Amino acid sequence: MRKMCKYFFSLSILLMPLLLDAQEADTVQASKSISVGFDLTGPVLYALDNSKYSLEGHLSYRLNYKYYLVCEPGYSDYSYEQYNYEYNSRGWFIRLGTDIGMLAPVASKINHYAGIGFRYGLSVFEQETPVINIRNYWGDINTSLSENTVHAHFLEIQGGIKTEVFRNFLIGWSVKLRTLVYSSGKDDRKAVYIPGYGPTGATFTPAVSYYIIYRFPFRDSSGE
């Protein structure tokens, strides 16, 4: 967590020039637009560690220069294995919420984004523990937990940036902090890994996304 704070601090310094420039006079109207993209983090992590597979889309509707409605649907397949158990979870998730831009509505920045976002997340998934090995005084115990369906609800706060690198084509990232509100899995059926959320071990779960996005501006909007 200390590392995360360092990252946030570094990122805020990085964002300072953008935010301090907010006094420019050439205020423009932001066009309404729909953006479609995906999170590159899942495939990259899968290339590094093939026990986690996650695909996540990013849809957003820009209301004005400041507010965006966001929908992030996805699918995740996770498996974990160590000396005393194996665990699998796979399922769908969706995160809904809003992004709040903090850049000034000036011509030089109107197609970029830097701000914070809030999400509610829902995950519905199957989990199973096909192998549990416990060794004690009486010998080795081999057991398993059959597949069961779990639904989980969580909240997320994030900070990030998206930059238009070509016309209507953006790249960007966000750093996220999630907290679990409710999970239907209890005791031995407690969720180990929730798709769209991550591991459940701590009160707050950090995450990072790296986005590639294409923006479809509305033709009747002005200000682009």
Residues making contact with another protein (CB under 8 A): 3, 7, 10-11, 14, 17-18, 41, 44-45, 48-49, 80, 82, 84-85, 108, 112, 129, 132, 134, 136-139, 141, 143, 145, 161, 163, 165, 171-173, 175, 187-190, 192-193, 199, 201, 206-208, 210
Report CA dihedral (27, 29, 31, 37) to the nearest 10 degrees: 30
Measured between alpha carbons, how far is 63 from 83 in angstroms, rounded to an integer? 51
Residue 103 β-bridge partners:
none
Please state the closest distance from residue 26 (CB atom) to another protein, in A: 16
Q: Residue 135 or 179: which CB sits closer to another protein? A: 135
Which residue, 61 or 163, is less far from another protein as judged by CB?
163
* 111-132: burial string, b at 16+ Cβ within 10 Å, e else: bbbbbebebebebbbebbbeee
CB of 220 to another protein, least distance (A): 28
Of residues 49 and 220, the one with the C-beta less far from another protein? 49
Residues shown for the chain? 224
Supply the minimum distance, in Å, between the C-beta of residue 46 and another protein: 10
Are 30 and 62 a contacting pair, CB within 8 Å?
A: yes
Find the shortest distance in angstroms from Cβ 162 to another protein: 9
Q: How far is the CB of 78 from another protein (least distance, A)?
A: 11
Whichever of 68 and 113 has its CB closer to another protein, that residue is 113
Q: Is the dihedral of CA 200, 205, 208, 213 positive or negative?
A: positive
Please identify, using beta-carbon distances, which residue of 19 and 96 lies nearer to another protein.
19
- List, in order, residues 6 or more apart from 168 with CB less than 8 Å away: 111, 214, 215, 216, 217
What are the φ and ψ backbone dihedral angles of 168, each rounded to 5 degrees?
65, 5
Instruction: State the minimum distance, in angstroms, from the CB of residue 75 to another protein.
Output: 19
Question: Measured from the CB atom, is 57 or 206 closer to another protein?
Answer: 206
Half-sphere exposure of residue 205: CA atoms within 13 angstroms, side-chain side: 18
